[in-house]
Amino acid sequence: MSGVLGVRRIRNSANFPVQLGSGLRARILDNPRQAGLWGLYSTALTAAGLTNGMRRPTDEGAQIVHMFLESAPCDAWRIAVNTQRSQVDEAELTRVQAWVVDLLSNPAARRALADRLLSGSGARHLWHGEVFDQASAFMQDKKGNEDVPPARDFLHWLSEKSAPLQDFAARVLRFDESLVLSALTFDWLLGCHGHSSREIEDKMATLANWPFAQPSVPDFSYDIQDGEWRKRAQGVAAFCDAMARGAWREATERLLEHHAGVARRRGGAPWCYWEDDKIKVVMHTTPGRLPAADDITGEKFSGWMRSRSNDFFLKAFLEVLHQVDGIKQGASA
């Protein structure tokens, strides 16, 4: 169950029983919106035609659901809709785990779902089919590699090979570069509790040799209409603009403002902020570090970026495609 979202939260619980509900002690079903689960799954399912605008299964979506449910006839799932329950013990959770394993053990249902998510099946919604065709060619070109290549490699492929997606993929690559810069900076700030603004500025100045000398957020106004996405992109853009000008204190301000805004809109609180001209960190986590000079030099930087770039769900897409191709090849052997 290591790949199922939420398992880490359960393991971080002191012991059983595991709390259910919306309270601070809850470890399951507490706040899927704040955890990002609604957007994570519903967007992909709707784009693939498996759910409608009301997040209800379409006819094809319902058909695939029934295929899965045939593999798991027990009613362990009912615990998720029982509003009277406030906790679950280890035996009950083990029973639910067994049900999930049964649910996912139907090869035909898995292939049907994968085909719909990967290729759009008969729908081929917007660029869906083009991405699938290019991914198939990309994976064929990389055939023989044991590991699925990073998503950034596939984006480079699209920017070179796909006429419909060439410009879009190039912009996503630039966006990825801005996200990597903002993420590594923020992760580093989480380890700077008590540092003065002067110390922060001096350290930030070491990024003056960042290979992408003019970090920026490309224009996606025609492609993405979502208001929340635009707000977040504007926050990253303000940070990148300050970084491009070498305004290190301003860049830090913009990044902290961006983080605080996102945290508030998700119903949370910022993890770090200025207090008396010093960084105050209230989120205990493993801090990151700023790259050393040789990390961002020459060929080494290319490998460094490949290991830190954002997947944009493309890595999962390629991995599922790789698995499905493996199943098909095994079946035809």
Is residue 45 one of the residues assigned to a domain? no
CB atoms within 10 A of CB 34: 13
pLDDT at 144: 65
pLDDT at 71: 83
pLDDT at 239: 96
pLDDT at 6: 53
Is residue 85 one of the residues assigned to a domain? no
User: How far apart are alpha carbons 290 and 308 in whole angstroms?
Assistant: 13
pLDDT beneath 50, residues of the chain:
1-5, 29, 327-333
Is residue 109 one of the residues assigned to a domain? no
Is residue 184 one of the residues assigned to a domain? yes
Q: What is the pTM of this model?
A: 0.70
In tens, the pLDDT along 80-130 reads: 677 777 777 778 878 888 888 888 888 888 888 877 777 665 555 567 778
Is residue 42 one of the residues assigned to a domain? no
The answer to whether 6 touches 22, Cβ cutoff 8 Å, is no
Is residue 205 one of the residues assigned to a domain? yes
Is residue 333 one of the residues assigned to a domain? no
> How many structural domains is the chain composed of?
1
In tens, the pLDDT along 191-203 reads: 999 999 999 999 9
Q: Which residues lie below 8 Å from residue 174, measured CB to CB, with a gap of 6+?
A: 212, 216, 217, 218
Is residue 272 one of the residues assigned to a domain? yes
The answer to whether 137 touches 161, Cβ cutoff 8 Å, is yes
User: How far apart are alpha carbons 69 and 259 in whole angstroms?
Assistant: 41
The 8 Å CB, 24+ separation contacts for 304-311 are 305/152, 305/177, 305/180, 306/150, 306/152, 306/153, 307/150, 308/180, 308/183, 308/184, 309/150, 309/151, 309/152, 309/176, 309/180, 310/151, 310/176, 310/179, 310/180, 311/150, 311/151
| Structural domain span for residue 179 | 166-308
